[in-house]
Structure 1
């Protein structure tokens, strides 16, 4: 086993330090990041449960026709859910980008005619 070096840090410490740094730098971006992560975790958990339920149902099939129908329905549902999830994440990213752009604006504008020549 390799001897740990001083540069190795536990993942919990590195993660919390990175999150704290992001929060200090831009709270808007860190909130958007947390929203993306929680939505992705929710979706993956839900899909995993549905995958396991489908596997149980497939193992209980009595005929190849029943299995084919079950697989077809499973794939259609999964594709619809993945498409919906991608659309939801895209909308979240659009909102986060819009909010970040608004946050960067100063609220003051200059016209080109007020610059002295």
Structure 2
């Protein structure tokens, strides 16, 4: 079922509100999560470029053997790129989570001096 404009606008508003809340909470946290989002966007753009190059190569094939070669190279490269990307995203997500927890602990932790005896 296709999304409606109201749902799309609601999702965009929610994302914008979340982004603003993160930025106000702590710039380090926002920077860590933006780094993750930028990496994901970079990967998608790169994969789209590779897909377009493969499409051109497929259309220029003259024999079934050439077609098999292009498809084989494409699948092999795609699997290795997706595997590498999964590792990068995992590392960036771990770092973003670490930064978030560290920065949140700084804000929410209590000092020993504020506990009445």
Task: Give the structure-2-normalised TM-score.
Answer: 0.73
Trace 1:1-117 onto structure 2 (pairs within 5 A).
10=9, 14=13, 15-103=15-103, 104=105, 106=109
Larger RCO, structure (CA 8 Å, separation 6 or more): 2
Separation (CA, whole Å) in 1 of partners of 2:98 and 2:49: 34
Q: What residue ranges of structure 2 are gaps of 5+ in the alignment? A: 1-5, 113-117
The CA deviation at 1:70 is 0.8
What per-residue deviation string (whole Å, max 9, x for no partner) do you get for residues 29-60 of structure 1?
32222111111111100110110000000110
Task: Give the structure-1-normalised TM-score.
Answer: 0.73
Aligned with 1:54: secondary structure?
helix
Separation (CA, whole Å) in 2 of partners of 1:79 and 1:49: 16
Which entry has the higher C-alpha Rg, 1 or 2? 1
Q: Which has the higher helix share?
A: 2
Separation (CA, whole Å) in 2 of partners of 1:67 and 1:9: 40
The CA deviation at 1:107 is 9.2
Q: What residue ranges of structure 1 are gaps of 5+ in the alignment? A: 1-6, 110-117
